[in-house]
Amino acid sequence: MTSTSVPTYEAIIDGKRVPATTTFDVLDPSTGAVFAKVARCGQSEVDAAVASARAAFDNGWGNASSRTRALACRRMAEVIRAHADELAELEARDAGKVISQAHVDVEAAARYFEFYGCTVEALYGETVLNRPDLLTYTLVEPFGVSAHIVPWNYPLQVAARTTAPALAVGNACVVKPSEDAPLTTLRLGELAIEAGFPPGVFNVVPGYGLEAGAPLSAHKGIDHLSFTGSREVGQAVMVAAAANIVPVTLELGGKSPHLVFPDYDRETTIPLIVESILEHAGQNCSAGSRVLVHEDVHEEVVAALVEVFEGFTIGPGGADPDLGPLVSAKHRDRVLGYIEQGKASSARLATGGGVPEDPALTGFFVQPTIFDDVDPDSVIAREEIFGPVLAVSTFASTEEAVELANDTTYGLAAGVWTQDIGLAHRLVRELQAGQVFVNNYAAAGGAELTFGGYKESGIGREKGFDALREFTRRKAVAIKVAGR
């Protein structure tokens, strides 16, 4: 595909499309072919976007009524739904999503704007009854300009998840999408204008991390920074924000466990464990990538998982197979490197372990893979692979299960599979994870349920009412009452 046969996407700054000096290629993960070119933003575009956001905030958006902001968010939800097919097709091609999952992501994006457009009007300060001679209360105020660095695995969802609450409470946003999948975030910036957000309230500056992400993270005009991505980049973002004493919200991934007890319900458990690791080819921060199974049911659980894995169809996202490609050749090779380390370890390769044999699959595909009898200290048990790779280990007691589950630097999610409600309540308390699911997994993980990690999985909370608090600060006010 030649450079003249593909569309070019420009940055969105101050409500307008803005070209950059140069562009970069966007590849279709299902084929490896170039299908778009995108503005390669740098310091000058970042400066312009931050200045635009500041002007929009200072000139009205920051002081707009909660109703004005709420209605804008609800209109945004309507506009996203009106463009659902377009956005889903773009997400499927850009990020390698299977088309049915892309449609789910579009609805999730709309739901975030709808949810915060409905809840922000219930965000109040408090009256503090401490002294009769003082009227004391708190004001809830936006930070000002919030920066949002969005990953490639769920670009539309995460862009909406982080910007919707920020906009709802009155911040103006500058969004930097991943260079691997920037297109739906750019389209979201265009739709924000259609929805009626004032120019400058929603800016999008695509580009490479060092050229656009780093300048945005370190920008002195930023008042709050939201980042979703790898732990290593998150640490760099946090250091940059610290130089300006800027608060951060970080979601940095996980190595989430399933704890399967002998009384598990096979009809429910097996499909949801499979879905939790193979959704978007395992490129999911909350992926249930470790299965800790009681030794009494170990063999039957592994056999059931292998049966489902080996029945999965693999293909281009637009064909709506069970499993699509990984996002890039670089990431595919990274995942295959972990698989080779698994093969070289004491673990048993139960299924998968390479790339599909079908020569028609020219994109970045990896077979769904299960390693059994995994040493809890091995690389594949401890590091986030971010691909369709499941590590299975056994336990003999509840105490051992908890110890294994918590023996990780991460703490994003966990699944518990048992009919013993007393045991379930105990495990909810003892597991070190920001979300714990009992006899389901991520089923309640929509806009309403708070989301965030323990340990190296991140700082702060997204989703739910907590996200509105995350993007606001409280001001204390004390007024002397006359005559007291």
The residues assigned a catalytic role are 251, 285
Q: Are 70 and 190 in contact (CB under 8 A)?
A: no
Question: Between vectors from CA 83 to CA 77 and to CA 89, what angle results, nearest 5°?
Answer: 125
3-state secondary structure of 463: coil
Q: What are the strands, taking DSSP E only, across 245-312?
A: 248-251, 257-260, 290-294
Q: Rounded to the nearest 5°, which phi and psi values hold at 208?
A: -75, 160
The C-alpha atoms of residue 254 and residue 57 are separated, in whole angstroms, by: 35
Tokens of 222: 């930023």
Question: Between vectors from CA 188 to CA 164 and to CA 316, what angle results, nearest 5°?
Answer: 115
The C-alpha atoms of residue 17 and residue 10 are separated, in whole angstroms, by: 6
Separation of CA 19 from chain center: 27
Q: Are 261 and 423 in contact (CB under 8 A)?
A: yes
Query: Which is it for strands 290-294 and 389-395: parallel, antiparallel or unpaired?
Result: parallel
Query: Which is it for strands 224-228 and 172-176: parallel, antiparallel or unpaired?
Result: unpaired
Tokens of 313: 């169809």
Distance of CA 51 to CAs 58, 159, 163, 175, 352, Å? 10, 20, 18, 13, 50
Cα Rg, the chain, nearest whole Å: 23
Q: DSSP for 135-147, please give it.
A: EEEEEEEE-SEEE
By residue count, the chain amounts to 484
The C-alpha atoms of residue 319 and residue 9 are separated, in whole angstroms, by: 25
Q: With the C-alpha atoms ordered 151, 189, 80, 102, is the resulting torsion angle positive or negative?
A: negative
The C-alpha atoms of residue 437 and residue 448 are separated, in whole angstroms, by: 15
Q: Which amino acid is at 254?
A: G
